[in-house]
Structure 1
Amino acid sequence: MKTSKSTYTMIVSMLAALLMLVVAGCSIGEMADSGTTEPADGQKLKVYFLDVGQGASQLLVTPSGKTMLIDAGNNDKEQTMLDYMKKYHISKLDVVIGTHPDADHIGGLDKVIDQIPVETIYMPKVQSNTKTFESLLNSIKNKGLKVKTAKAGLSWDLDDQVHVDMLAPKGTYEDTNNMSAVVKVTYGRHSFLLTGDAEAESEKAMLASGADLQADVMLVGHHGSNSSTTLNFLKQVNPKYAVIQVGKDNKYGHPKSAILNRLQKQGVEVYRNDKQGTIEITTDGKSIHIVTER
């Protein structure tokens, strides 16, 4: 069958146009998955690993403006915490979690609760006879709050897009570090595992529970101490990024070289408060963007 010149030209033009559409489609798909596009304002989960020196504090702000504060540094960081609340325009805290009674985690919480309305507070069922703990309980009482027990198995939606699972503590431990509340926060494809001072015993219990521990971002347990971040636990979490909340020239020698080497061998990109100040990690559920203070 003989094809006319005009028909041949039309077929070639149609094939060329189809090829352009296919190529354009591939480019769009690659761009969506590359993680290079900056998430749009109002659609991001923001997680701030606040620089509170030798202590820990994480502030989360959801796309709809819901807020969650986990720990608040030591007693000498009370004003620092209030300054952070002002800087990030926090007028209300929907959820507060005191991971465990150590002063370098709950020391600044009393003043935060004194100054900012709190909807819900979680703490593990463990007591401490310190003035720091007593001061926190007084602030909670004065605000008419009732503490909910932090324990494995709890879950809730921080908003309609951000889900929180509490993975520890599982059971009761003599060491208060192992009583640390551990939470996994998920938004879209990405998740954060925030571990408090949970040590090897708690990590083993989480592994045995069969919980989904995988997370893109992991707060390294106990400021990078040898007591935490066991190899089995790290492999199960399989993070791309890790944050170590630690102060400069601290007396504990955190983070330990063995933990840094372990993270490096697993190909984890590490961020540290002592070197980079406050670390802000944002995600639109598809990509992750990290900004450091210095």
Structure 2
Amino acid sequence: MKKLIMFVITCLLAFSVAGCSNQVIEPKSTQSDMHSSAKKLKAEAAGKLGVFYLDVGQGSSQLLISPSGKTMLIDTGDVDKEQLMLNYMKEYDIKKIDVLVLSHAHADHIGTASAIIDQLDIGKIYMPKAGNTTKTYENVLKSIKNKGLKVSTAKAGITLDWDEKVKVQMLAPVQPSYEDMNDTSAVVKVTYGATSFLFTGDAEKQSETDMLESKADLSATVLTVGHHGSSTSTSAAFLKEVNPKVAVIQVGAGNSYNHPTEAVLKRLDKKGVKVYRNDQNGTVSAVSDGKDVKWATER
């Protein structure tokens, strides 16, 4: 993580000198401790968009820091990653989450949300209407209630108020209910200048079809691959419409689901999409100046 953070600092500094391209450059060693480096990163990121695909194993969590320093957290990893997530918040010097999006009610996406809500200042919370009866989900609702917070329904057609320089749209769920909870996933598109990032949760083919039929602008520079690279997501038609340059797969090493599947990897390869994976690259970081996206990986 220490090398990752210093690497991204180097990328940020490079923006002001010579622009960038989607390449990975080895970071120089540093004696700075992780926490102070994270603070420096936040300062250097002023005026740019930082997107951090946190390595939470077989789960999902993305931390975004806007050009004006606003924060957004999309999902929080599984229940066994509570301390890891709190450590990430400390390392990135995050004391407030301005927007918390919990894509859907499965534990690998909301597992540590109760701890995040309990220990940090929280602005707005977005969740789909569909819930479940698990202890994890009940704990999230309890933490929200104890903090006196309200939940806004995550659904297609919403524009989120986050940063005046960044457009944040919710493209799914399109329908009010789905048979499969994965299809209730909130899908968020973040656009900064000429660059854009699509976050898909565990949305599967039915939700993807509904998004295609809604005629929403799905095109994005970067795609967070749906459902950890499961064959139930990232259909050929959906991938064609998104047409990403880069894809990030949030997946744990040696997972029992065999994610990501060979079918999805082949689709991405056929379209010439650069792929980053948490199981191979650790935490994956992207920094956009509105024109180009610079990448860094933990390993």
TM-score (norm 1): 0.87
Matched residue, 1:226 = 231
Residues 26-37 of structure 1 mapped to structure 2, 5 A cutoff: 35=21
CA offset digits 1:61-85 (Å, max 9, x no partner): 0011000000000000011110000
User: How far is 1:44 from its partner?
Assistant: 1.1
Matched residue, 1:156 = 160
Matched residue, 1:99 = 103
User: How far is 1:33 from its partner?
Assistant: 7.6
Question: How many residues matched?
Answer: 263
User: How far is 1:43 from its partner?
Assistant: 1.8
User: How far is 1:158 from its partner?
Assistant: 1.4
- Partner residue of 1:212 out of 208, 217, 224: 217
User: How far is 1:35 from its partner?
Assistant: 4.3
Task: Please give the secondary structure, in 1, of the residue aligned with 2:163.
Answer: coil
- Partner residue of 1:255 out of 242, 257, 260: 260
| Larger Cα-atom Rg | 1
Q: Is the 8 A contact 1:223 1:245 kept in 2?
A: yes
Matched residue, 1:13 = none
Residues 112-191 of structure 1 mapped to structure 2, 5 A cutoff: 112-171=116-175, 172-191=177-196
Residue 91 of structure 2 aligns with an amino acid whose one-letter code is: K
What is the RMSD of the two structures over their aligned residues, measured on CA atoms? 1.7
Matched residue, 2:69 = 65
CA offset digits 1:71-109 (Å, max 9, x no partner): 000000011110000000101010001100000000011
* Relative contact order, higher structure (CA 8 A, sep 6+): 2
User: How far is 1:32 from its partner?
Assistant: 7.8
**What is the alpha-carbon distance in structure 1 between the residues aligned to residue 104 and residue 129 of structure 2?**
9
Matched residue, 2:28 = none
Residue 97 of structure 1 aligns with an amino acid whose one-letter code is: V
Once the two structures are overlaid, the 10-residue window that deviates more, 274-283 or 151-160, is 151-160
User: How far is 1:127 from its partner?
Assistant: 1.8
**What is the alpha-carbon distance in structure 1 between the residues aligned to residue 92 and residue 99 of structure 2?**
16
Following superposition, which runs of at least 4 residues in structure 1 exceed 6 angstroms of deviation? 31-34
In the alignment, is residue 88 of structure 1 matched against residue 92 of structure 2?
Answer: yes
Cα distance change on mapping 1:132 and 1:41 into 2, 3 Å: closer
Matched residue, 2:296 = 291
Task: Please give the secondary structure, in 1, of the residue aligned with 2:210.
Answer: helix
Residue identity over aligned pairs, in percent, reads 59
Structure 1 residue ranges without an equivalent (≥5)? 1-30
TM-score (norm 2): 0.85
Structure 2 residue ranges without an equivalent (≥5)? 1-16, 26-43
Residue 59 of structure 1 aligns with an amino acid whose one-letter code is: L
